Amino acid sequence: MTLISALNNVHIPGFYGNYKNKDENNLIKISEIKNLLIVQIVQYKNSSIKIEELKIDELNLKNEPLSVVNSSDTRILWNGPKNWLLISTKKNLIKKIKEVFKDNEFAVTDLSHSKAIIEIEGFNSKEILKKGCPFNFKTLDKNNSINSTFNGIALTIDCIDDNPEKIRLFVLRSFGESMYHSITDSALEFGYIAV
Amino acid sequence: MLYIKCPHCGMRSQNEFAYGGDATVKRPELNKEISDSEWNNFVYLRKSPRGKHLELWQHISGCRQWIKVERDTLTHEIFKTFKAEE
């Protein structure tokens, strides 16, 4: 079966916007991230299991707002009370997740094919997001994540790095194209490279 | 624009929330016989206070949790926010 990414015919590599007479290394880079494992993990209200005792890919879940626990391959984003989003490059981790998070205590949902992922990298990445998202980005540090809206579309923002800024946006696949156009329109002012 | 402090996520814009109505309205107890007028009061009748009001909001674009907000309907000042079960 051929997998078609969410932004397959939308994301076209090239230079766009106000990029002329600017150093290519300082331009914002926008890319589509593909082939990640995305799993939503929700602990049932009546579950009494202590999440500190559960480990997945050597990481513990953390029930703390904004927090992201991460290793080189896997990131676990706090999505709400007893609600996490696991992102990993290890596609076969899903088997282990289903073993660790028993189905009478947790709801585990594979969302790998239902999200579009856009990555923005460069010094003005947060400025782009400020144009459509009401969140106070001064409070978003490295390894923080939030759920918010961008031009009315619900999204998850994961701050991977802050120098230079590297931010991943997760949006429902069906809103991927709309979100991509919103983000790239906002980036035109600075000039960007679609990679 | 209002800023609402979600007890789970922190200070967020009103854009991320959906209004859920009066938080003081209580559903009649299960299996208890109640009159049509009591049902009518529960389903339709709402006060329209001027001043402090306890409201339900859902952080629909954030943590998706229902919360209670004590807000002044005249000035829109928000005094306190609680988790729904508090």
Q: What percent of chain A has pLDDT over 70?
A: 100
pLDDT band (50, 70, 90) for residue B1: confident
Cβ contact (<8 Å) for B13 and A83?
Answer: no
Residue with tokens 């938080």: B23
Cβ contact (<8 Å) for A80 and B64?
Answer: yes
Q: Residue B34 pLDDT > 80, yes or no?
A: yes
Cβ contact (<8 Å) for B63 and A80?
Answer: yes
Per-residue pLDDT, B22:
94
What does the pLDDT average to over A2-19? 93
Cβ atoms A84, A78 nearer than 8 A: yes
Cβ contact (<8 Å) for B62 and A146?
Answer: yes
Q: Residue A1 pLDDT > 80, yes or no?
A: no
The residue of chain A with its CA nearest to that of B12 is A135
Name the DSSP letter for residue B28: P
Nearest of A100, A72, B84 to residue A84 by alpha carbon = A100
A171/chain B closest Cα distance in angstroms: 12
C-beta neighbour count of B79 within 10 angstroms: 10
Q: Torsions phi, psi of B54, nearest 5?
A: -95, 120
In chain B, positions 9-68, which contact chain A (CB-CB < 8 Å)? Answer: 9-13, 15-16, 60-65
Q: Residue A82 pLDDT > 80, yes or no?
A: yes
Per-residue pLDDT, A163:
87
Q: Which CATH number fits domain B3-25+37-83: 3.40.50.300, 3.90.550.10, 3.40.1440.10, 3.30.2270.10?
A: 3.30.2270.10
What's the complex ipTM?
A: 0.89
Cβ atoms A55, A100 nearer than 8 A: yes
Name the DSSP letter for residue A27: S
Q: What percent of chain B has pLDDT over 70?
A: 100
Per-residue pLDDT, A34:
92
- Higher pLDDT among residues B43 and B1, named by residue: B43
Per-residue pLDDT, B71:
96
A154/chain B closest Cα distance in angstroms: 6
Per-residue pLDDT, B42:
93
What does the pLDDT average to over A179-186? 97
Per-residue pLDDT, A2:
78
Nearest of A88, A65, A89, A86 to residue A76 by alpha carbon = A86
The residue of chain B with its CA nearest to that of A83 is B63
Per-residue pLDDT, B76:
94
Residue with tokens 């290394």: A25
Cβ contact (<8 Å) for A149 and B8?
Answer: no
Task: State whether residue B5 sits within 8 Å of chain A by CB.
Answer: no
For residue A69, the cross-strand partners are A76
Q: Which CATH number fits domain A14-35+114-194: 3.40.50.150, 3.40.50.300, 3.90.1660.10, 3.30.1360.120?
A: 3.30.1360.120
Per-residue pLDDT, A53:
86
Per-residue pLDDT, A3:
82
Name the DSSP letter for residue B29: P
Q: Residue A20 pLDDT > 80, yes or no?
A: yes
pLDDT band (50, 70, 90) for residue B30: confident
Task: State whether residue B85 sits within 8 Å of chain A by CB.
Answer: no
What does the pLDDT average to over A1-21? 92
**pLDDT tens sequence across A21-49:** 999 889 999 999 999 999 999 999 999 89
Count contacts between A and B (CB, < 8 Å). Answer: 43
What does the pLDDT average to over A161-178? 95
With 0-12 / 13-18 / 19 or more C-beta atoms within 10 angstroms meaning exposed / middle / buried, residue B36 is exposed
What does the pLDDT average to over A163-169? 94
What does the pLDDT average to over B39-59? 94
